[in-house]
């Protein structure tokens, strides 16, 4: 795959905020808009962000329109999703990936947005970012310092590294490949469509409010896919917040480490919590001593 890295973010650039998933709180979006404007960026809101269709931020057509318009708008340098929730998977077969490939730019989000990031990487070849979102993170009264620094460092600098906070090694080792992953349950929901990279990849995962048996199910479902299993070089684990039985989950990862001849390491700041790292999905990296370094 010919992977495209978008241009870095510079002061004065324009950021588009769109809502491709769940319906939003417009006051929080205005708060996030002001946050970025205080840093010297211009902010455009998608024309449909205030729409609501049941639990979605407008109809599929409206949410897709904002996604396409943000990529085609020559003034826009970066796109930040408002929030996750649900709705991204309804768009993946309707997206014009040629439009995205021909207009590469920063695209950010996590949780449900993982579906868009994975499909954009696979079908447009564009590096996207598992990153904080407008309503979820940048509308806070005080934006988390680690989250802010990781976001702006990754968006403005050519180099990055990601370190585990409290490392837990299920299986040690080194690996090289592209970073691929995000929210685990959203990733598993893509089974049945073409989303797995052809290159060797290092898979990172996190989740929220999922019981241990479902996390087992999601990993098993992914590993049942030949391309996924064949190209998997390592598994990096973030937070699995509010899991019902941490002991069962720990036992599952130990079992996985015995089956797979690849590094499996936990303790990374991939999370739904307030303090999260920004991860470039599709960037080439080396995993050594538990540290992820850009190639």
Helix H or strand E encompassing 258: helix 246-259
CB 295 within 8 A of CB 286: yes
Among 117, 123, 210, 272, the one annotated catalytic: 272
Has 123 been annotated as catalytic? Answer: no
Six token digits for residue 288: 């050594």
Closest by Cα among 188, 194, 150, 292 to 234: 292
Give the integer Cα–Cα distance in Å for 206 and 185. Answer: 9
Give the integer Cα–Cα distance in Å for 110 and 19. Answer: 12
Among 111, 117, 130, 136, the one annotated catalytic: 111
Among 62, 123, 136, 206, the one annotated catalytic: 206
Please count the other Cβ atoms lying within 10 Å of the Cβ belonging to residue 226.
9
Has 206 been annotated as catalytic? Answer: yes
- Burial of 175-199, coded b for 16+ CB within 10 Å and e otherwise, reads bbbbbbbbbbbbbbbbeeeebbbee
Rg of the chain taking only CA atoms, in angstroms? 18
For residue 224, give every residue at least 6 positions away whose Cβ sits within 8 Å of its Cβ, in sequence order, or none. none
Q: What angle do CA 31, 36, 41 make, to 5 degrees?
A: 140
Has 111 been annotated as catalytic? Answer: yes
Catalytically active residues are 111, 206, 272
């Amino acid at each position: 795959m010919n992977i495209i890295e978008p241009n870095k973010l510079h002061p004065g650039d324009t950021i588009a905020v769109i809502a491709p998933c769940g319906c939003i709180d417009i006051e929080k979006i205005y708060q996030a808009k002001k946050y970025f404007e205080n840093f010297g960026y211009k902010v455009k809101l998608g024309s449909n962000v205030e729409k609501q269709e049941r639990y979605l931020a407008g109809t599929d057509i409206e949410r897709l329109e904002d996604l396409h318009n943000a990529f085609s708008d020559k003034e826009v340098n970066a796109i930040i999703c408002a929030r996750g929730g649900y709705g991204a998977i309804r768009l993946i077969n309707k997206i014009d990936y040629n439009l995205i490939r021909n207009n590469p730019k920063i695209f950010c989000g996590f949780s449900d947005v993982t579906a868009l990031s994975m499909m954009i990487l696979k079908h447009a070849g564009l590096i996207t970012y598992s990153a904080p979102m407008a309503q979820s993170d940048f509308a806070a009264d005080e934006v988390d310092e680690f989250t802010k620094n990781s976001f702006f460092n990754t968006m403005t600098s050519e180099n990055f590294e990601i370190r585990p906070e409290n490392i837990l090694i299920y299986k040690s080792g080194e690996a090289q490949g592209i970073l691929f992953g995000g929210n685990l349950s959203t990733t598993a929901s893509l089974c049945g469509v073409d989303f797995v990279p052809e290159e060797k990849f290092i898979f990172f995962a996190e989740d929220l409010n999922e019981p241990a048996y479902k996390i087992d199910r999601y990993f098993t479902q992914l590993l049942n896919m030949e391309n996924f299993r064949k190209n998997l070089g390592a598994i990096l684990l973030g937070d699995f917040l509010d899991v019902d039985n941490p002991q069962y989950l720990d036992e599952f990862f130990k079992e996985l480490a015995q089956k797979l001849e690849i590094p499996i390491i936990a303790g990374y700041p991939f999370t739904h919590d307030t303090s999260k790292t920004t991860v470039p999905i599709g960037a080439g990296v080396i995993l050594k001593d538990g540290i992820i370094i850009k190639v």
